[in-house]
Amino acid sequence: MDLKDIRNKINIIDSKILKLLNDRMRQAIMARKFKTEIEDIEREKEILNRIKNNSGQLISPDFCEKLFVNIINESKRLQKKVYKIIGFQGEHGAYSEVAARIWNKDLVSVPCKDFSKVFEGVKSGLFDYGIVPVENTLGGVVGQVNDLIINTDLYVVGAIDFPVNHCLLAVPDADYREIRSVYSHPQALAQCRQFLARNKLQPISHYDTAGAARMISEENLRSSAVIASKMSAELYNLEIIKENIEDLEINNTRFLILSKEKFEGIGNKCSIIFSTEHKSGTLFSVLEVFAKANINLTRIESIPKQPGTYAFFLDFIGSDKDEKVIRAIDKVSQITKELRFMGCYNERKIQ
């Protein structure tokens, strides 16, 4: 180990400290939803006493106290602002978080272990919004998300469709010629299969693209790389070896933004979920209503509910304030077993 190695480790530790501080501030912002007052003197005393008693071997208790007084003050400053929170599945740097920032850069993004936690957070009011992927041009629909949408009473308030450009990332100063394996989510590995085969790189599955980036950074794996986003490179102090390594040029993912409250009369696209009787011609009857009203359908997806029964997602161009849309939905409600209006919203397509 030389000075360069030591400094590299310091850089990694600094990045971890900054990430943890940001994580703490996110928790403070979420805690504000459950507090009647920002000031809590007893809680602050409790934190400072605990920190001083656990300062460790090298750091003095007084230094720790000064440091955490500043941290607490910054937490209170953030709590005084009105922040909206959006939950996403994965680690920081996941493509869902990239999409969330494109949709609204002022939202505070909070990572969730799985999709169900995103839905639970929105339903409970912990999150103002949740963002989830629903379909990819290469991987198709995300079945788990569709099931959760059917079984959770939330509204669609926005959508974003953007190209997923995969990057090959490695720890700083890694020798590309020595890299033998690549970690990433199975879907990302599949989308870069030709690149991996061409370069004789062994794919290794990981639960999340950004989680894989964090792992190789923290463990300083010099003989491995990761497929992830540019944002992951910035967050985890990784170098971009190569950009746009996906096999097909068109690799778009569509994300929906969900909320407990629907947006009234805002947008030019609508979504509904409905189910029909299990007999011939019922789905055709629904589609015929929209055809006669000259309403352009942009997506229809069938999702199994119970043996022999299906729910259908339907997206179409229009506003819930348009008379022809109102009439069409009313007619469809009369010929379906159940119908749920998911919301009217704007969809952004990023080129």
- For the entire predicted model, the pTM comes to 0.86
Which of 33-37, 116-120, 144-148, 196-200 has the weakest average pLDDT?
Answer: 33-37
User: What's the average model confidence in pLDDT over 142-150?
Assistant: 86
Domains belonging to the chain, first-starting first, are: 3-80 (1.20.59.10), 84-164+251-261 (3.40.190.10), 167-243 (3.40.190.10), 263-345 (3.30.70.260)
pLDDT averaged over every residue in the chain: 91
Q: Work out the pLDDT band at 310, boundaries 50, 70, 90.
A: confident
* Percent of the chain surpassing pLDDT 90: 66
| Higher pLDDT among residues 176 and 194, named by residue | 194
Give the pLDDT band (50/70/90) at residue 240: very high
Q: CA nearest 32: which of 72, 71, 78, 69?
A: 78
| Cα 95 to Cα 33, 137, 166, 254, 255, distances in angstroms | 27, 15, 10, 11, 10
276-313 CB burial, b ≥16 within 10 A, e <16: beeeeeebeebeebbeebebeeeeeeebeeeeeeebbb
Which pLDDT band holds residue 103 (cuts at 50, 70, 90)? Answer: very high
Q: Would you please indicate which residues are annotated as catalytic (active-site) residues?
A: 253, 255
Is 265 a residue whose pLDDT tops 70? no
The predicted structure's pLDDT at residue 128? 96
Measured in residues, the chain has a length of 351
Averaged pLDDT for residues 124-136: 94
> Mean pLDDT, to the nearest integer, of 192-221?
94
Is the pLDDT assigned to residue 215 strictly greater than 80? yes
* pLDDT, average across residues 72-87: 91
Band of residue 144 on the pLDDT scale cut at 50, 70, 90: confident
In angstroms, the CA 103 to CA 258 distance is 12
The confidence band for 250, taking pLDDT boundaries of 50, 70 and 90, is confident
More confident residue, 305 or 195: 195
